[in-house]
Amino acid sequence: MKFLPYILIVLSALPLLARLFLARRARRMEGAAIPFNDPEVKDKLRRHGRVLLYFFSPHCGPCRAMTPIVDRLAARHGNVVKLDVAQAAPIARSLGILGTPSTVLLKDGKVAQVVTGAASEKRLEALLAGD
């Protein structure tokens, strides 16, 4: 019984540690060349110079909240690509995406920035604008 508080502390810290691990792993891709060959993404990258990839899962709560934001951005800009991780698993795997929602900014043929977790419309707009 005297170890119970320590066990509870460790168990409560596990989700935070998992999120930090996922973010660190995904950010290792920043600055690397695009590790996949998708015609839609390559075409948008050629036309716009930067593309925002949005990885989501239909069963993810934060994804369901963030998807309408991404849909609005996609309607305003032509350089947003939504990818369901179940259907685009090879692309997600090649970028080190292990959790949803995640957004990846591609610029000039390289991974410019990776954002894990939900992001605000203002932050995503800034990514697309190059701020």
For the chain, give every domain's residue range. 4-129
What is the pTM assigned to this prediction? 0.80
In 8-84 the beta strands, taken as DSSP E runs, fall at 50-56, 80-84
| Residue 29 annotated as catalytic | no
Q: Of these residues, 63, 92, 97, 111, which one is catalytic?
A: 63
Mean per-residue pLDDT, 106-124 = 89
Residue in this structure with the two tokens 């604008």, named with its chain if needed: 129
Flag whether pLDDT at 28 surpasses 80: no
| Residue 25 annotated as catalytic | no
Mean per-residue pLDDT, 48-68 = 92
Please tell me the predicted confidence (pLDDT) of residue 64.
Answer: 93
Flag whether pLDDT at 52 surpasses 90: yes
- The CATH classification number of 4-129 equals 3.40.30.10
What's the angle, vertex CA 89, arms to CA 63 and CA 85, rounded to 5? 10
Residue in this structure with the two tokens 């508080």, named with its chain if needed: 5
Q: Which residue has the higher pLDDT, 115 or 35?
A: 115
Please list the residues that pair with 50 across neighbouring strands.
107
In 15-101 the beta strands, taken as DSSP E runs, fall at 50-56, 80-84
Mean per-residue pLDDT, 64-80 = 92
Mean per-residue pLDDT, 64-81 = 92
Flag whether pLDDT at 89 surpasses 80: yes
Q: Of these residues, 22, 60, 98, 112, which one is catalytic?
A: 60
Q: Is the dihedral of CA 26, 28, 31, 34 positive or negative?
A: negative
